[in-house]
Structure 1
Amino acid sequence: MSKVVVTGYGVKAPNTSNSKEFVDNLVNGVCCLETVNHLTPKGESTVVGVIKEDLLEFLPDKAYARFPRTALLGMAAGKEALSHSKLSDLKSKKIGVFFGVSVGNIGDVNFQESILNVHQNNYREVPIIFGHQGNHHSITSAIAHYLGTKGMTKTISTGCTSSLEAIQDAAVYLKSGVIDVAIVGGVDSPISKAAAFAFAKTKVLPLNQSLDDAAVPFQSSSKGFAMSEGAGVIILERETDALKREAIILGEIDRIVSNNDGVFIYSVDQSGEQMINALREVLNHRHPDYVNSQALGIQLNDIIEQKCSKELLNHKVPYTSIKSMIGNPFGAIGIIQVISSLISINYGFIPPTIRTRKKGFEDMNIVCDTIFKEINEVAITNHGYGGNNACAYIKSYKKGESS
């Protein structure tokens, strides 16, 4: 069976306009987060990751004036990914577009204004596009239209695992021959009072902590995670097709495994059993060069990562978390972790977990400073609100090796 390979990627993240800037930030361990105090119940400070650029490429065209921010972010990342892949003949191929979205437009200003008008019974002020603003799949279809595709278009929504599971679905369609090319992405813009209030209620939002202590992976003093926004897109093809068109292959999607904790909706699984099971299956007795972890500063989640490291890898394999730099962009994080892993493979380094002092996690092999070395295999862990776990295994491309 032909391998599923990556031939292009694009990214938008806090302080990150494109993949070149993403490389620089990862190599140099740049903190792209900031503290704000306008989102929380009593004006407490919290940490967020905001994309501050105005997406200037879309501003001259009035057709995009009413597009939600999520769609614009996904369009920009998708445009870069297609350009990177040098795919120019989309109309002659069967294209599938798969996007992971968790909370969608909850952080979009226009959507928030529409909700306010509803509560104030201002029917005339509610825009005709209000239905699309609240529909996750309208985000994906807008991106697909902008990229020039009319074929299979799917939206996956499983919380923060959404985009990793979008890759999982796309690989199945590629291997079965239903599609020739998969444009796979993830996007979310969650930063809002609604999200801040929700996570403050569950005590996973850091309140009144500085950047030294808040939203720090693998740090027992961290009281929660950093909400951020972002988008990532990769181009997937079968190896045979990519070689036929002489594409540059950036890496291989070796395997993705997902499951659910299977617990009551308002409870959490503290054992980490299903995450351990998913990672065990994706590792398949292999030791990667490092684990690109979902650790984000929520103690329960990070302790589960610690359990995975001990039980499956005996703390011998290096762990890192890019969320220390860019925060957690919800449904986009999985695919951004994949892109960071591909960058790591192609540029030869392990990105650091910045800001952590490893308090409470001293037994783990946590990478705190950039390590420059050859990278061939990376495992990725991801957990979503709602109990889904997803793990991936990404490999450097070597022609002729069996899948």
Structure 2
Amino acid sequence: MKIVCTGYGIFAPNTRSIDQYLFNLKNGVCTLKVVEGMGPKGESTIAGLIQDEDLEQIEADDKLKRLPKVTKMGVAAVKEAIASSGLDVRHKKVGLFFGSSLGATGEKLYQDSIHYANQELYRKVSLIFSHYANYHSITAAIGHYIGARGVEKTITTGCTSSLEAVEDAILYLKSGKVDVAIVGGTDSPICNATTYAFAKTKTIPLNQTLEEGAVPFQKGSKGFAMSEAAGAIVLEREEDAVQRKADIKGEIVDVVSNNDGINIFSLDESGDQMLNALKEVTMGRMPDYINSQALGIELNDQIEQRCSKQLFNHEVPYTSIKSMYGNPFGVIGILQVISSLLSLQYGFIPPTIRTTRRGYEEMNIITETIYREVHEVAITNHGFGGNNACAYMKKYIKS
């Protein structure tokens, strides 16, 4: 049984639509910027931000006014995905599977309510604080907005959240428990707490330029760029999509996930479980390229290097869209899926921009857009907490 994608949507820095995403990917547009004064001692860092004015059109909808920013972003992505698919969600068993790493806990209302609670000013705690603190309220609000009343699941496994949401959706579709799955992720994690925490662990770049910091596959990059975004896709069984004459974007062959299985205060330097997941999902196949999780943290990127050597002898090209979009935590997996679908449809491999490849010269890293037929893509994804998720995707060929 084939599981196919019939629609997609996105809301990300400098990206309000799939068309804009396609343009940015093809042209290697960097949506990140150096933000002054964000560090704990006033240092600059690199981030992918969605500004308040970017949300103005969404906030004009009265249904969304009291919802957190992260939910509004998710609604925008889902609306575009459903419109792209031409799907009528009424009278169908809809499964809504959404991933998020931090939910709305990075937002001002949440932070303020925590402050008031600590000061024992209970009357100043927001009436809707409980929903901001409850990750599943995001998925439930999106489901209510689109009129879906079926299965709703929230997956929170760090940066692998949305890719593991795809894994769950595939299982539900193949079992027949749902007729269609709307799958995605949304995260708006940038706040003082996350900035200071990652600064302490030296995993975000402080006082580095865009040429130096948050650069995948480049020795000397001191960490990753935090970002915020939302993305969504519509998944269906092939026979259902064909019957309703849907425009099929591509096939999701499989998703494999696992965990490093080490203490959460440690790091797995071996990369064994990432390698195992990628080996299992590729099954000896040679994809046209790897849509990699490389993000500018040297340890993570070295694990990608090891996988490239042991599984493909550096013959398969590698790229990372995080050089353009940073790391929007639980959303990055679905952004990688959508970028791979666009690659399959439009025949190109997006570049890893900004990198000099220093320290990774032996790898086959794509630094300029390559235009050619793309038939198969593998995705690698790793999350804080040790989860790994890898996916395999194909250009759609009717059975």
TM-score relative to the length of structure 2: 0.98
Write the deviation string for residues 349-391 of structure 1: whole angstroms up to 9, x where unpaired: 0000000000000000000000000011000000000000000
The offset of 1:51, in angstroms, is 1.4
Contact 1:230 1:329 in 2 (8 A): yes
The offset of 1:202, in angstroms, is 1.2
**What secondary structure, in the 3-state scheme, does the structure 1 residue paired with 2:105 have?**
helix
**What secondary structure, in the 3-state scheme, does the structure 2 residue paired with 1:336 have?**
helix
Contact 1:106 1:191 in 2 (8 A): no
Write the deviation string for residues 317-351 of structure 1: whole angstroms up to 9, x where unpaired: 10000000010000000000000000111111000
Contact 1:97 1:184 in 2 (8 A): yes
Contact 1:380 1:393 in 2 (8 A): yes
Aligned to 2:379: 380
Aligned to 1:8: 7
Contact 1:106 1:192 in 2 (8 A): no
Partner Cα distance (1:359, 1:58) in 2: 42
Question: Which one-letter code corresponds to 2:9 in the other structure?
Answer: G
Aligned to 2:186: 187
Write the deviation string for residues 199-232 of structure 1: whole angstroms up to 9, x where unpaired: 1111111111111111000000100000000001
Partner Cα distance (2:380, 2:141) in 1: 29
**What secondary structure, in the 3-state scheme, does the structure 2 residue paired with 1:20 have?**
helix
- Percent identity, aligned pairs only? 61
The offset of 1:118, in angstroms, is 2.2
Write the deviation string for residues 11-52 of structure 1: whole angstroms up to 9, x where unpaired: 111111111100010000001001113332101111000112
Partner Cα distance (1:213, 1:154) in 2: 39
**What secondary structure, in the 3-state scheme, does the structure 1 residue paired with 2:295 have?**
coil
Contact 1:16 1:51 in 2 (8 A): no
The offset of 1:8, in angstroms, is 0.2
Partner Cα distance (1:189, 1:329) in 2: 7
Aligned to 2:68: 68
| 1:329 is aligned to 2:294 | no
Question: Which one-letter code corresponds to 2:165 in the other structure?
Answer: A
Contact 1:137 1:155 in 2 (8 A): yes
Length, aligned pairs only: 398
Write the deviation string for residues 53-82 of structure 1: whole angstroms up to 9, x where unpaired: 432333233442221011000000000000
Matches within 5 A, 1:231-380: 231-380=230-379
Aligned to 1:20: 19
Partner Cα distance (2:105, 2:211) in 1: 28
Partner Cα distance (1:350, 1:54) in 2: 28
Partner Cα distance (1:295, 1:207) in 2: 19
Partner Cα distance (1:248, 1:60) in 2: 30
Aligned to 1:178: 177
| 1:55 is aligned to 2:70 | no
The gaps in structure 1 that reach 5 residues or longer are: none
Aligned to 1:82: 82
Partner Cα distance (1:99, 1:105) in 2: 14
**What secondary structure, in the 3-state scheme, does the structure 1 residue paired with 2:397 have?**
coil
| 1:103 is aligned to 2:102 | yes
Question: Which one-letter code corresponds to 1:355 in the other structure?
Answer: R
Question: Which one-letter code corresponds to 2:43 in the other structure?
Answer: E
**What secondary structure, in the 3-state scheme, does the structure 2 residue paired with 1:106 have?**
coil
Question: Which one-letter code corresponds to 2:148 in the other structure?
Answer: T
Q: What is the RMSD of the two structures over their aligned residues, measured on CA atoms?
A: 1.0
Partner Cα distance (1:170, 1:57) in 2: 30
The offset of 1:198, in angstroms, is 1.1
Question: Which one-letter code corresponds to 1:110 in the other structure?
Answer: L
The offset of 1:113, in angstroms, is 2.2
Write the deviation string for residues 249-285 of structure 1: whole angstroms up to 9, x where unpaired: 1000001100000001210110000000000001101
Aligned to 2:165: 166
Aligned to 1:44: 43
Partner Cα distance (2:397, 2:34) in 1: 43
- With over 3 angstroms needed to count, the CA separation of the structure-2 counterparts of 1:61 and 1:255, relative to structure 1, is closer
**What secondary structure, in the 3-state scheme, does the structure 2 residue paired with 1:5 have?**
strand
Aligned to 1:205: 204
Aligned to 2:213: 214
The gaps in structure 2 that reach 5 residues or longer are: none
Partner Cα distance (1:265, 1:233) in 2: 29
Partner Cα distance (1:66, 1:120) in 2: 24
The offset of 1:184, in angstroms, is 0.3
Partner Cα distance (2:274, 2:59) in 1: 43
Partner Cα distance (2:63, 2:115) in 1: 24
**What secondary structure, in the 3-state scheme, does the structure 2 residue paired with 1:219 have?**
coil
Contact 2:109 2:126 in 1 (8 A): no
Deviates more, 1:107-116 or 1:67-76: 107-116
Contact 1:100 1:157 in 2 (8 A): yes
Write the deviation string for residues 296-331 of structure 1: whole angstroms up to 9, x where unpaired: 000000000000000001000100000000100000
**What secondary structure, in the 3-state scheme, does the structure 2 residue paired with 1:278 have?**
helix
